[in-house]
Amino acid sequence: MPVIYIEEASAHAGQAVTIRGWLRSRRDKGKLHFLILRDGTGEIQAVVSKGTVGEEQFARSAELTQESSVVVSGTLRQDARAPGGYELDVSGLEVLQVAEPFPIQPKEHGTGFLMEHRHLWLRSSRQHAVLRIRHEIIRACRNFFDDRGFTLVDAPIFTPNACEGTTTLFHTQYFDETAYLTQSGQLYSEATAAAFGKVYCFGPTFRAEKSKTRRHLMEFWMVEPEVAFAQLADMMELAEQFLAHIVEAVLRTRRAELKLLERDVAKLERVTAPFPRITYEEAIDTLQRKGLPAKSGDDFGADDETILSKEFDRPVIVHRYPAALKAFYMETDPQRPDLALCMDVLAPEGYGEIIGGGQRVDSHEKLLARLHEHHLPVDAFQWYLDLRRYGSVPHAGFGMGIERAVAWICGLEHVRETIPFPRMLYRLYP
C-alpha cells in the first residue's frame, strides 16, 4: 500500500493508501469516529468505523488526543464536501503515541504563552500559512536576482567594524579580538559588486535595539542587491520590479494561505510597477497638510511612514532625504549637496519602510572625510576605502527586510509571527 502525503490524495482517488500524521481533532458519532488528520502538507478526514476496524482498533482511536501521532490505512473516497476533496475510509489504524494534553487549545491564549510554546504553536494552520508564504517570498527574492544574472555572494556575519555605530551591535569574543554581528551586508556587497558587477547577499542580520515595537526583531533576514555602475534611479526601478515580482509570486502560488489569513488580495493585486515616487520634501508637505508637526530636516517616525503610505494604493518610493539624516556612505545629489541620493520604499496599508537603499559615495576623498565626520575608525575601513582606490565606479543597492515584507504581504499586525523562532527583547526561548 503506497504511503502518501495528504496533498497527493487526488492522484490516488479510489486507491488504498497509508497516511501518517497527527490528530487535529476528533468527532465521535456512535460506531464512527471522524478524525481530522494533518501531516504538514494538508488535512484530511479519516472515518473510523467500528464495523470495519474491529473492537480493539476502534477503542484505540477513541483514546486519541489532539496531536497524537498515527499511521492510518484505508481507501481514498472523493467527497465534494470535504475540505481537500477527499476522505479516507480507514481499514487499519496504528497509534504511535497518545499525546499528553496539548497546551494550545482552540481558544484565546496570551501572546506570551504562545511565544513560550512557539515550537508547538507552529503546528497551527495559521502559522503554516504565514511560514509557507515566507518560504515563497524567499524563493521569489532569490529567483528574481538569479534570473537577472546577479551572483549570490554572501556577506560575513562576524565583522571587525561597525557599519553604523556600535550602540546597537551584538558582539562576541573572537579569540583575541571582538567581533560584531553584522547589521547589513552592504559594505561587503560593494566589494563584491566591483568583482561580479551585480550581486546580492541574503542572510540573517542583528540589531541590539532595546525597543519593543511591532516592527522590530533582534534577529532578522535581509536580502541586499548591489549593482556596479548603477545610480539611484536604477535602484528605484529595480526595487519596484522586485516587489511586484514577489507579490505576483505569492498571489500565484499561495492563494489558499492568503485566504486562510483573510488577506484582502485585491490590495496585493494592485502592487504593480511603476510605483509612485515622491521626494522627501514632498513627503514633509504631505504630512504638514495632514496637520502633523513635521518639519524639513526631521526624520520620519513609524507614524509618519504609516500616514504617508496610506496616501497610495501601492508601495511609494520616498527619495532624497537630507544627507544629515543618513549614513556616512550615502552619495549626495550634485544639484543639491544637502540631499542624499537615497530612497525608502514604504509598503501600503501602514506597513512602513520595507526597503531602504541608494547610491554610495564613490570618491575616496569624500568617503575619507565622511568617516572622519562620523568619528568612525578609519583603519577598520581601509578595505572599504580600497574600493575607491582601485577602479571606483558609481554604484547603488538596497536592502529589504524579509520579516517586514512577510508582515505586509500576510497582513499581520506584528512581525513576531513572520519568522519561525522570533528573537525579541527578553525572548530567546525556545
Partner from a second copy, Mg ion, none binding residue 353, C-beta < 5-8 Å depending on class:
Mg ion
| Beta-carbon contacts of residue 73 (< 8 Å; ≥ 6 apart) | 1, 16, 17, 18, 19, 90, 91, 92, 93
Partner from a second copy, Mg ion, none binding residue 357, C-beta < 5-8 Å depending on class:
none
Residues that bind Mg ion (CB under 5 A): 344, 353
Give me the helix-helix angle, 125-147 and 402-410, nearest 10°.
120
Task: Check residue 84 for interaction with a second copy (CB under 8 A).
Answer: no
Helix or strand (DSSP H, E) at 22: strand 16-29
Supply the DSSP symbol for 129: H
Q: Closest approach of Cβ 325 to Mg ion, in Å?
A: 8
Q: How far apart, in whole angstroms, are the C-alpha atoms of residue 363 and residue 32?
A: 77
Partner from a second copy, Mg ion, none binding residue 344, C-beta < 5-8 Å depending on class:
Mg ion
Residue 19 main-chain phi, psi, to 5 deg? -125, 140
How many Å from the N-terminal Cα to the C-terminal Cα in the chain? 38
Supply the DSSP symbol for 380: G
| Residue that is written with C-alpha cell 540631499 in the block | 339
Q: Which of residues 114-173 bind a second copy (CB under 8 A)?
A: 117-120, 122-123, 127-128, 131-132, 134-135, 138-139, 142, 146, 149, 151-160, 170-173
Task: Check residue 54 for interaction with a second copy (CB under 8 A).
Answer: no
Q: Closest approach of Cβ 394 to a second copy, in Å?
A: 8
Nearest of 12, 90, 91 to residue 45 by alpha carbon: 90
One symbol per residue from 245 to 284: x for binding a second copy (CB under 8 A), - otherwise; what is it? ----------------------------------------
Decide: residue 169, CB within 10 A, 0-12 exposed, 13-18 middle, 19+ buried.
Answer: buried
Residue 37 main-chain phi, psi, to 5 deg? -110, 145
- Do you know the residue count of the chain? 430
Q: Closest approach of Cβ 4 to a second copy, in Å?
A: 12
Q: Which of residues 341-400 bind a second copy (CB under 8 A)?
A: 380, 383-384, 386-387, 389-394
Pick 21 or 358: Cβ nearer Mg ion: 358
Pick 63 or 100: Cβ nearer a second copy: 100
Pick 206 or 351: Cβ nearer a second copy: 206
Q: Closest approach of Cβ 140 to a second copy, in Å?
A: 11
Task: Kindly tell me which residue out of 17, 44, 163, 218 binds a second copy, with binding defined by CB under 8 A.
Answer: 218
How many chain residues interact with a second copy (CB under 8 A)? 93
